[in-house]
Amino acid sequence: AEEVGGGDKDVVKEYFNNSGFQRWKKIYGETDDVNRVQRDIRLGHSKTVENVMGMLKDEGPLTGVTVCDAGCGTGSLSIPLAKEGAIVFASDISAAMVAEAQNKAKEEVAGGVVPKFEVKDLESLEGKYDTVVCLDVLIHYPQNKADGMIAHLASLAEKRLIISFAPKTFYYDLLKRVGELFPGPSKATRAYLHSEADVETALRRVGWKIRKRGLVSTQFYFATLVEAVPA
Ligand code: SAM
């Protein structure tokens, strides 16, 4: 019952359309009505976005580059990508998240190509993109499901794949704090942490290798960032 693709996926979707939407919209937003923990997570997440933008721009200008932002949330990455001229295909399992992202993009992307947003789960994504990015979504996938998800995302990417996830190294530390992020298991979603070695193995199995790694951490936010390319 805890598996993504089974009951868990419906729970995740329901969460991100309701209480999770309210919570994360605030964290990813700019308003002052956040508590200390939420403010810290906002900071950590913004560092992840900044790092990813850096990784992406390192390889040259983004004008005309096609990017799939898988599990786009409120568009925290999609919008700056569009401002840099990337052709962005953004999707999320939550219709509420997608609607919020769409509104923000309409306001914020002046002149550039507004991302194409869709309500879609990762599993049903198709097509080919220069780059596929999936930030802070793996936390909803147990490792056995994460392997398949990573393989699927790699199959959509022609040049590179960027993934961020909560590292297992901080397991106990994080577990203590996870209660702040997600309501109890009876009410909403569990959080799954991943070891970099497991992610690397999943990538290697489908012919990809890690080219860059990074770690973003604040007091309450941890993310390992990997950029992978065909081996
Ligand atoms: N990537 C965004 C960012 O970094 O700003 C959002 C991260 S948020 C913590 C996780 C997002 O993943 C939520 O918007 C949620 O709806 C989405 N999500 C969870 N499971 C998903 C799935 N199976 N397919 C697509 N999106 C999913």
pLDDT digits (tens, 9 = 90+) for 16-70: 999 999 999 999 999 999 999 899 999 999 999 999 999 999 999 999 999 999 9
Q: Is the CB of 8 under 6 A from ligand 1?
A: no
C-alpha 49 to ligand 1 mean position (Å): 14
Dihedrals φ, ψ of 135, to 5°?
-105, 130
* Cα Rg of the chain, angstroms: 16
Phi/psi for 204 (5° steps) reads: -60, -40
Whose C-alpha lies nearest to ligand 1, atom 23? 121
ipTM surpasses 0.90 = yes
Q: What is the pLDDT of residue 174?
A: 62
Residue 89 reports pLDDT greater than 80: yes
What number is the average pLDDT over the span 6-20?
86
Give me ligand 1 centre to Cα 78, in Å: 13
CATH assignment, 7-230? 3.40.50.150
Report pLDDT for 60: 95
CB 165 within 8 A of CB 223: yes
Q: Exposed, middle or buried, 36 (CB in 10 Å: 0-12/13-18/19+)?
A: exposed
Q: How many CA atoms lie within 13 A of 68 on its CB side?
A: 26
Domain boundaries, the chain: 7-230
Mutate to test the pocket of ligand 1, among 140, 220, 221 (most ligand atoms within 8 A of CB): 140
Residue 176: which H helix or E strand, with range?
A: helix 171-181
- In the three-class reduction of DSSP (H, G, I as helix; E, B as strand; rest coil), residue 173 is classed as helix
- Type and span of the H or E element at 134: strand 129-135
d(CA 108, CA 119): 20
Judge whether 87 and 64 are in contact, CB under 8 Å: yes
Q: Residues 96, 99, 105, 108: is their CA dihedral positive or negative?
A: negative
Nearest-angstrom CA–CA distance, 10 and 32: 31
